[in-house]
Structure 1
């Protein structure tokens, strides 16, 4: 018998548009959504309120648990930037009224950033924890963030002309994912030096797939699945997306790895070895 979470995922995924699709895998709001003016991604297992001072007042995120906002919360938590959730979405400064949208008032004037990839790049440039990054690492991080939005998104989600998601391109071999598979067989994360906001961008899209398309296995790419599992296991991921989603995804990845190890995937090669 399917779990309540599985039924929720399946029932809500149908006909979802690209700007709504995160809703399809969110547990009930009472389980994961922070109270107005707070975000669970402000630290490990903690919340940051909009009534505090300093950086937490500087970054205001217009969004909901049912949008790509958790992706932004995850990234902000990983680089140590507290974010306050906007109390009133009717004040959203996004020119098209979409979410997520970030308002940064830290410099004295409000800077508006929209599109999840652009927001991640803004957070990367703002975070003190990334100040010591070399030009090479910085370029790699921002390049991967852009790649996630421009190239990986259309692979993961095939849309109708009016933007409704109806399928995934990961049901069959894909040369770009093959390249990712090779890279992740050589290193744990996308950029040399360890986990970065590049991984937040790329892993978020990859982890959407087993939530929307539960019958689709990525076992042909075991290194990619192992990478997805590593990212989903991070504390900040669970804080941003919710513990139910985190547990579901970790279990899904473990199942795909078992399938790959038993020869269920299209490739016999596992973790870079024959």
Structure 2
């Protein structure tokens, strides 16, 4: 059987990037990580926009896609589903269990990521402290943590008895719980789950990918690229 071909990963050490790093490590697939420095504007380069038209990381190219033809993908949730399908790992085959996982993946994509991202923005990066926004998104973060904690009172993992792409998607977003105004001990079942996921060797390897390149966002140029008019220019 031929060796699997190397997957090219265009990414940065953010929660969405780490989802894919962790998944690739868990699946044991060969990959090469290419840094897309979002503070410098690498995400707007024409070559990157060819595979990620929404100018967001991560994106991948797999030379051995469906039918043996190359494929490029953006959106971290879609990439997780693709890699699960490619390897037959971390997404159940049975319809009921599969949909259980997919609904919690969508919960992360539509709720956990956007809302915790807003909590980070208004608590850490906004040029002015807006009390309404800070309270709104901190409270939403607490609500989401509560939803997860309640779900974990029923199952060992997010979507059932087995570790899945739902866990892989949610975990990286909770690593910055302190910045979200969260006290992890307030969610004991979530904390136990979080600590267990953090001990997995593949997770430990995944969160180190490109991590030494990331620096705190302190300069005005990086803030403008990430949050200012550069983000909204037509391309």
How high is the TM-score relative to the length of structure 2?
Answer: 0.66
Cα offset, 1:132, TM superposition: 6.4
What's 1:102 paired with? 60
3-state DSSP of counterpart to 1:62: strand
Tell me how many residue pairs correspond in the alignment.
Answer: 188
Instruction: Quote the residue 1:84 is aligned against.
Output: 32
CA contact (8 A) 1:121 1:145 kept: no
The 1:148/1:132 distance shift into structure 2, 3 A limit, reads: closer
Instruction: Go from structure 1 to structure 2 and tell me whether the alpha carbon gap of 1:174 and 1:209 turns closer, same or farther (over 3 Å shift).
Output: closer
Could you say what the CA RMSD is over the residues aligned between the two structures, in angstroms?
A: 3.4
For 1:103, what is the secondary structure of its paired residue?
A: strand
Q: Is 1:187 aligned to residue 155 of structure 2?
A: yes
Contact 2:23 2:168 in 1 (8 A): yes
User: Gapped runs of 5+ residues in structure 2?
Assistant: 37-41, 127-133, 212-235
Superposition deviation, residue 106 in structure 1: 0.9
Q: Which has the bigger relative contact order, CA under 8 A and spacing at least 6? A: 2
- 1:40 corresponds to: none
Normalised to the residue count of structure 1, the TM-score between the two structures is 0.57
Contact 1:100 1:114 in 2 (8 A): yes
1:223 to 189, 194, 208: 189
Contact 1:141/1:198 (8 A) holds in 2: yes
Gaps of 5+ in 1: 1-52, 246-274
Q: Which residue matches 2:10?
A: 62
Q: 1:45-91 CA distances to partner (integer Å, 9 max, x unpaired)?
A: xxxxxxxx74242x211123357322201012223333222489764
Report what 1:153 is aligned to: 113
Alignment CA distance shift 1:110-1:87 (3 Å): farther
Give the drift of 1:156: 2.1
